[in-house]
Structure 1
């Protein structure tokens, strides 16, 4: 079907403009069909845009979208190097095109093709960033700029250094090249290094699926799990803290003054130099008894405290 230019606005669009692209079986057929769709002249584009803006005419919006589907196909080809399905790239680009048509103002004096390119690329960029890896690799403006420019710039550096075998086969950027990228893209040097590291890495499953023989494969989940936040471990840790503070204080209260001081001086005090408390002989000199007697008092006090702690727990 071809577009017939007419003076009246009613003749500009068929009853169902979406019928211009019939149901298709594959991507090649779709691309062939959209490339045969007629382009709109500037006057026709203005007429449809005003009908959409002033009357919310869906058929006019359809003609604006259909006449620019080939633009989406052309732009989407620029992003095939990211390994994502071409059909998905086109689909996301079409979403951007429809957003552009909805926001297009015919009074701005620009063609829709110039306005729509930004929206088409924005939707494709967002799709690539969300789906290129399991973990999103770029979130800030500087990271996005690096993601979509770093690979092409690295290829340019390799082409310029084609006569240098070492540089040609080197996969990482040199310090001078990192500085050049940072200057050209107006980003920090550290951001260039970080993005190059992200792009060179791959995805690793935290919990790999079992192998063909039924054995569970070893994955990072085995050593990345934080056992300290496991409920049972948290309860045990809380109990140990309570015993180390309130429990010991309660057990010490059950001792006589001499036994309590011996335990405190032997086990609960630390000197300024980091050494332990008083020795048996030092305590023996304080109380005027033998070191063996101090040891016997200590053993008896520790048994009594152990029983008190068990009751407290």
Structure 2
């Protein structure tokens, strides 16, 4: 084992990112033949030493890939860590029989892990949940031609290019343009940068006296209308509606049919006719 290889394996957090990058760049690069030989050893004999060598020899490429995601504001060390996980998954699934270099195969796995990490951590609230939103998240920035809100023509063009609805483009643009805001007030904020936190204007209206009074009045009105509508029915229809719709224990059509000495279909007809009559009273 070379000195640089030992350094890469035994890196400690206090050594810093720059030390890690120098170490992985100093690791020897494998030839195509060496790569296939190690891959065959791993897949045929479960040789973890061979898998380790494949991973270590390609760590430098993970660092290069992560530089393309610098604009998302997340630590490069975290992106490298996620990319390394993708590289290890790629080694596990790599088939040397296809005669494709490991990195050509692994780039999808590396980028996929980084994509998922960015989506989970870019904002406190997950910004992209659907497949269309995930597609837009990674295309919206690089596809825009200028800073600022997009015009309708730009929205339509991007929607057609990415095969998504224009409304989805607009919603995703809005999500990405808005920053996370703390719910509680920051007492250390000075006058020039002061902003009202959501706790200052978002209210819990469930126990507001005005709201409760309005809800009570509305409930009284509904109860009065319901009693009026029931009074307009004949006793049998009123009993069927009361028991089928208002009581906690609701009898079946057949149970009521046996009680009234008619068919279940007749009970259903009475019920439907009564509901129509009540609807006319309530809408009057």
Alpha carbons of structure 1 residues 110 and 210: separation in structure 2 relative to 1, 3 Å: same
Alpha carbons of structure 1 residues 224 and 48: separation in structure 2 relative to 1, 3 Å: same
Runs of 4+ more than 6 Å apart = 272-275
- How far apart are the structure 1 equivalents of 2:283 and 2:64? 73
Alpha carbons of structure 1 residues 222 and 32: separation in structure 2 relative to 1, 3 Å: same
Name the counterpart of 1:304: none
Deviations, residues 118-139 of structure 1 (Å, cap 9, x unaligned): 1110111111111111111112
- Is 2:167 the partner of 1:179? no
Task: Give the structure-1-normalised TM-score.
Answer: 0.60
- How far apart are the structure 1 equivalents of 2:283 and 2:77? 69
- How far apart are the structure 2 equivalents of 1:99 and 1:229? 53
User: Aligned ranges for residues 186-225 of structure 1 at < 5 Å?
Assistant: 186-211=163-188, 219-221=197-199, 223-225=201-203
Cα deviation for residue 176 of structure 1 reads 1.4
Cα deviation for residue 219 of structure 1 reads 3.1
Name the counterpart of 2:76: 86
Which of the numbers 72, 75, 78 marks the counterpart of 2:62? 72
Name the counterpart of 1:23: 11
- How far apart are the structure 2 equivalents of 1:50 and 1:88? 31
Which of the numbers 129, 134, 138 marks the counterpart of 1:144? 134
Alpha carbons of structure 1 residues 187 and 245: separation in structure 2 relative to 1, 3 Å: closer
Structure 1 residue runs without a partner (length 5+) = 3-13, 159-169, 250-271, 276-313
Cα deviation for residue 95 of structure 1 reads 0.9
Name the counterpart of 2:206: 228
> Quick check: which has more Rg, 1 or 2?
1
- How far apart are the structure 1 equivalents of 2:78 and 2:189? 32
Name the counterpart of 2:24: 34
SS at match of 2:143: helix
Q: Number of residues paired by the alignment?
A: 217
- How far apart are the structure 1 equivalents of 2:94 and 2:134? 26
Deviations, residues 197-236 of structure 1 (Å, cap 9, x unaligned): 11111111223455489xxx96324554544389xx99xx
Alpha carbons of structure 1 residues 273 and 62: separation in structure 2 relative to 1, 3 Å: closer
Given that 2:8 and 2:20 are in contact with CA atoms closer than 8 Å, whether structure 1 keeps it comes out as: no
Name the counterpart of 1:280: none
